Amino acid sequence: MINQLIALCFRRRHLAWVLAIFVAIYGYVSWTRMAVEAYPELSDVTVQVTTQVPGLAAEEIEQQITTPLERALSNTPGLVTVRSSSTFALSLITLVFQDGTEDYWVRQRVLERINSVTLPPGIQPGLDPVSGPAGEIYRYTLESDTKNLMELSEIQRWIVIPAFKQVAGVADVNNFGGLTKEFELELDPRQLQHYGVVLNDVVNAINANSANAGGGR
């Protein structure tokens, strides 16, 4: 077969030259239009479910968060492998799906199953952003000799994270650790009775005071 092809090229040299030029032009055009990435996407379709619960031990994280989520996610269409990790204050569940599965379709199915799980109040799992195989590429800590942990947390949330998110190519910035500012109100039952105020009145007043309101009249 190869000998016949070579003989044909010798007999019809003009046709061989035309075909060679056509192949060269087609190859050059394809090469100029080919998508080139520093880190080509070769990994499986993966979705990572992250749940942060400050102050909860690893065993409680596994019992109250990781296990219920794994049970709900185990029947997601196209699921191949489930891996999980439960550490102090953090639950990570990695779901690997069949090759060729559409990322955003899978994420929608995962969210539907997460919403069907009953978790302790105030706990809301989240999905890590869609990213390439490089994944998490950098970790950093905030340290100071003059500021406490709560002040560093405020700097992280309101200054550092917004600045990083403005950098081109950054998909997301995940925060872990730190303290959140809280306000505690201690009520004196005798004073409430003296002024004729019930607990719901205090709650409603606090909610009204902290609500957002539009400008103008």
Q: Give 118-157 pLDDT, tens digit per residue.
A: 998 888 898 887 765 455 678 889 999 999 888 998 899 8
Q: Kindly state whether residue 201 falls inside one of the protein's structural domains.
A: yes
Whether residue 152 sits in one domain with residue 115: no
Q: In terms of domains, do 29 and 50 share one?
A: no
Domain membership of residue 184 (yes or no) is yes
In a domain, 132, yes or no: no
**Cα 50 to Cα 34: distance, rounded to the nearest angstrom:** 35
- The residue from 100, 127, 154 where one domain ends is 127
Residue 61 within any structural domain of the chain: yes
Q: Is 171 helix (H, G, I), strand (E, B) or coil?
A: coil
Per-residue pLDDT tens for 199-210? 888 888 888 776
Q: Does residue 68 contact residue 119 with C-beta atoms inside 8 Å?
A: yes
Q: Within a domain: residue 38?
A: no
Place of tokens 């709650």: 203
Given CA atoms 38, 40, 43, 45 in this order, what sign does their dihedral have?
A: positive
pTM (global) more than 0.75: no
Q: How confident is the model at residue 80 (pLDDT cuts 50, 70, 90)?
A: very high
51 and 17 in a common domain: no
Does residue 86 contact residue 58 with C-beta atoms inside 8 Å?
yes
Domain extent for 150: 138-210
Beta strands in 67-191 (DSSP E): 79-87, 90-97, 126-127
Q: Are residues 51 and 103 in the same domain?
A: yes
For the chain, how many structural domains are there in total? 3
Q: Give backbone dihedrals phi and psi of 49, rounded to 5 degrees, phi first.
A: -100, 120
Burial of 56: CB neighbours in 10 Å, binned 0-12, 13-18, 19+: buried
